[in-house]
Structure 1
Amino acid sequence: MSAAAARAAQVLTHLSHPDRLAVLASLSRRGPDGATITAMASELDLPVTRVGDAVSRLRGIGLATGTGNGVYRARLDGLREAASDIEKEQPIARLLVAYPELKSNFAHGRVKELPPTMSDRSELMGELLARFLDLDGLYEEAEINRRLSAVTDDVAGARRMLVETGWLERDRAGTTYGLGRQLPTDEK
């Protein structure tokens, strides 16, 4: 696991505690005005010590800031950074950088929708997924499905699109697949 993924895991682990999540939500609702530990304890009906501990831990992972006068504020950019770090760890992220026109088809490293059939984006998506599959021979359908499932829930739709765009070729029985055409060497 990379340092960025470990950091994201740490943020999520800290937020799994109900007191910390409640305190972060309270700070977030208060916006730039922030809140004191006492005000949050009253609002959340929690002991001051538990709110103080939650604020301390949130500050430690960069999700809260303090001004020195006892007022704390949420720092939600820390959540965005954690989400971005997790997204960068997704298996297709490295390849997707070279296909910026397909970014809208992905969410968090997974295909959220396949482009319309016969569109330029369908051809590009086929090329991207063919690169992702990294085929160097013939593979059973189960292996193609396993690889595609790392980036899409619509495995059958993605496999069909790869065949229709010519990036994937199947045998007459429809059980064995291989690369249908050579990928361009000027890797995007």
Structure 2
Amino acid sequence: MSDEERTTTDWREVAAALVNDDARTVYAQLVLGQEPDLGATQRAVRRAEQSVQTLSRVGLLDVDGRTSGRVFRDLLAAAAPPKREGVDRFLVDGRIVQYPSNPDEQQALLQRVAASALQPGEVVDEAEINERLSAFHDDVAVLRRYLVDAQLVERTRSGTEYALVT
């Protein structure tokens, strides 16, 4: 079995191996550069051999029986959150955490907000638009201004009603 085949990306397998006292002791000994030793009895020797097999199976030991950090790198890589792309880079849990400096990206972000906050043909008053925009950012006045300036949302001259630009 090659080193690649033995590396797991399931942290539970590694944790299950290390929950075993014998396997944990053998692993610690190997990390410290010592020979596995659980005692001189035949039973202790068998337990040490089984521990080495378990540690190898989950990728804590390489093909030569040496400790390997590869399994930890693989586990961390597997658990990494997916890389956010596009306007999602500026959102956390659907809320704007930063406005893009790139005008095209800012327009795309504002288009998403406008389409989420208002339906075509819908007209809402300022209190209602503020409430809806508060789901995206705490400073609703700035967000509202950006939407109007980007010509995605229009407001009446009195500033009392808002609607999507169609």
Bigger radius of gyration = 2
TM-score (norm 1): 0.44
